[in-house]
Amino acid sequence: MKRIRLLLVVVAQIFIVKPLIANDPFNQGIQQGKVSKNQGADAIGGFNPAEIFPGYTTTPAESGYYGGVTSSGVDMTSPGSAALNHSEAGKTITESILNTPADNQPSLDAPFIAEGLDMQVKADTLTGGGVDGCVEQPAGFTEITTHQCLRDTKIEQYCTRTATITGDWKDTSEIKTYTLTAFSFSRAGKQIVFSVTAPDAGIIRSASLSVTTQNYLWNSLASFMSTTFRLTWNDTIALSPAAGMVLAKGQVLSGTSCSANGSCTGTLDNIIFNDLTGGKTRFALTLVMQVKSREWVPRVEWSEYCPFSKTEGAMTGSQCVEPGGTRTVVVEGKNYSIYQDCWRWQDTWLTQTETEGTCGEYMRDAACTVARSQCADTVDGFCVSQQVTYSCERNRTGNGKICGGEFFCTDGSCAQGQAGTSNMFARAVSALAAVAAVGKDVAELNGENVRAFTGEARSCKKMAAGFNNCCKDSGWGQDTGLSDCSSNEKALGKAKEKKLTVYVGEYCSKKVLGVCLEKKRGYCQFNSKLARIVQEQGRRDQLGIGFGDGKSPDCRGITVDELQRLDFGVMNFSDFYTDLTAGSDIPEDQALLNKAQAIIAEKMKETAP
């Protein structure tokens, strides 16, 4: 407690303001200072230090530190450590710290402390007691903090449905009429034999034979297709018994003819035969047949193309991209026409819903706005995760005085506002906590393969968009719809809610015929926010060492060499502040100043005569 009080006394001295003087003398002093400020510069305008100081140089070795610890490319840590460990002053300081007994504390009666206490007692009199022209003025400034978070993006993909005309053949029958004139003629003794070939397979429905002659047939008796008849001049004979006869394609149909009522005189049959072969007498067989046939029945067939598994999403709309109309196809020389309202549809599918992710608290905070957003991970040409940087603005107030047209800060808040910083105590404690955590990790490893802030690889399944998503970032306190998620996936979800994870990437874990049926996401999970912050902002952002890919996350710890290259001073520990204050009362900067003043006042009472 004595150490804390001593620290607060020293802090208070830093914020002590020089005494203010009466208004007129004060203004005169300001004017005199403005007149005199350039006289010194004019006096040394022609001064050449190299002519007076031995070894003078404009580029001393220390110029390499220009810009301080926040300047990029400047390493002050290594030289500082070397000086502390090897210089005489550093050794003296180290020995003093190690050898000073715990109960041997600096006395408040020491001159430099006593003078500071005395100035504290007189501070109110010097700065605010009865000075004409000084007016109380509240000091206002803006605190701006930045926060990074991850959220899933909305992804829409498209399927196409295309209509084409196709068809099927079906067996049927039809009635066809054939007229056959290609008869063949031969002799069987005196008898005349005539024949013709069946043109198709089928059933005869009716048949007739026409005879055209330029001569008399002399009452020849003929038999053909189960019918006996007399050949007369230019006659058509109905072959009724042929009805129902089944013919095969190419089957030979034969008949005979004989003159003299079938007795065949021979001489007359020769004349008739010559007339038949010479074309003076002609036969024509007419067949009406029921023959087998096939019919092509047109239809519309739809084909679909989807570059993803539809089980991953939900259809949100459709648009016709090839307007409807009548289209015609030709099959075996025959035209077939079909009308469609639309020949091609494009369906829109939502394959990933837009989520708040770890950005919810900033999205709902009216004081926070998006400063920058960039894609954190791309899969198959789609940005699946977005890193968003939010800038949050808070208004802070303090106390000050206006004297002679000049403003003087009385509580130190103005300096914080001008530097663009606040809550410096929380930042400092967070950095110290990170260093302490490193020490704890190193101690547990006993000097072998020393790594700090080691994490573990974790993964989760992504299923249908917005449903049963085991990679969701919030709502894991409710198990509705998450029955298919494993206990490890649920544990990962809760770790994401506590900001203990770093997203590594997404990959396809199950693919069939080129279509991804299941996706997974890989994460590195750490045991504290400090470990995640140092890994994310130190290893990744400062050293440029990534975390591998989603399928094989690299969650290794940070080596000692890498730790020495990290700048904890520029890390954003704002996510850790809530853990820092949990279960304890960590005051803001202004509260610290007020407490310092109160402790000093108490000490003044204790030491007052």
The pLDDT tens digits of the residues spanning 550-604 come to: 999 999 998 888 888 988 888 888 777 766 665 445 455 555 556 666 776 676 6
Contacts of 414 (CB under 8 A, 6+ apart): 139, 141, 398, 400, 407
State mean pLDDT over 269-275.
91
Q: What is the pLDDT of residue 79?
A: 73
Strands 191-197 and 252-258: antiparallel
Higher pLDDT, 451 or 99: 451
Each residue of 21-44: pLDDT tens digit? 335 555 666 666 666 655 655 555
Cα→Cα distances 196→183, 226, 287, 332, 459, Å: 5, 15, 12, 29, 84
At residue 158, does pLDDT exceed 80? yes
Angle (deg, nearest 10), helices 589-607 and 424-444: 90
Cα distances from 445 to residues 434, 442, 526, in angstroms, run 17, 5, 17
List the structure tokens of 339: 């009308």
Give the pLDDT confidence of 179-189 residue by residue, as tens digits.
999 999 999 99
Tell me the pLDDT band of 16, cut-offs 50, 70 and 90. very low
For every residue of 550-585, DSSP letters joined together read SSSB--PPEEHHHHHT--GGG---HHHHHHHHTTS-
Sheet holding 184-188, edge to edge: 184-188, 191-197, 252-258, 220-224, 227-231
pLDDT in tens, 103-113: 555 556 656 56
pLDDT in tens, 499-544: 899 999 988 888 877 777 788 899 999 988 888 999 999 999 999 9
Which tokens hold the place of 607?
A: 């030491």
Classify residue 130 as exposed, middle or buried by CB count within 10 Å of its CB (0-12, 13-18, 19+).
Answer: exposed
Domain architecture of the chain: domains with CATH: 169-293 (2.60.120), 427-587 (no CATH)
pLDDT one-digit tens code per residue, 72-94 = 556 666 676 677 667 777 666 66
The predicted pLDDT at position 20 comes to 38
Averaged pLDDT score across all residues of the chain:
77
Given a cut of 50, whether residue 48 has pLDDT beyond it is: yes
| 456-506: pLDDT as tens digits | 999 998 765 555 678 877 665 555 556 678 888 888 988 888 889 999 998
At 286 the pLDDT is 97
Could you give the CA distance from residue 492 to residue 469 in angstroms, rounded to a whole number?
13
CB half-sphere exposure, 162, CA atoms < 13 A: 7
Average pLDDT over residues 256-262: 89
Instruction: Name the residue with higher pLDDT: 476 or 11.
Output: 476
CB-CB neighbours of 514 under 10 Å: 6
pLDDT at 251 over 60: yes
Look at 149 and 320; give whichever has higher pLDDT: 320
Q: What is the pLDDT of residues 276-333, one digit of tens each?
A: 999 899 999 999 999 999 999 999 999 999 988 787 778 899 999 999 999 999 999 9
- Convert the pLDDT of each residue in 337-385 to its tens digit: 999 999 999 999 988 888 888 888 889 888 899 999 999 888 888 898 8
The least confident of 53-67, 139-153, 386-400, 405-419 is: 405-419
Return the structure tokens found at 9: 């006394």
pTM, whole model, 2 decimals? 0.49
Range in 151-160, 403-412, 553-562, 581-590 the model is least confident about: 581-590
Predicted pLDDT at 393: 84
Question: Where on the phi/psi map is residue 567: left (φ > 0), alpha (ψ -120 to 50), or beta?
Answer: beta
Contacts of 212-216 spanning 24+ positions with Cβ under 8 A: 212/281, 212/282, 212/284, 213/275, 213/280, 213/281, 213/282, 214/275, 214/280, 214/281, 215/271, 215/275, 215/280, 215/281
- Residue percentage of the chain with pLDDT more than 90: 31
Point out which residues pair with 224 in neighbouring strands.
227, 255
Query: Hey, which bits of 481-576 come out as E strands?
Result: 501-512, 515-525, 558-559
- Residue in 123, 120, 126 with CA at minimum distance from that of residue 604: 120
Three-state DSSP class for residue 108: coil
Higher pLDDT, 156 or 418: 156
Asked if residue 422 has pLDDT above 70, the reply is: no
Q: Where are the alpha helices (DSSP H) in 71-191?
A: 77-86, 88-99, 111-128
Residue 509 is predicted with a pLDDT of 86
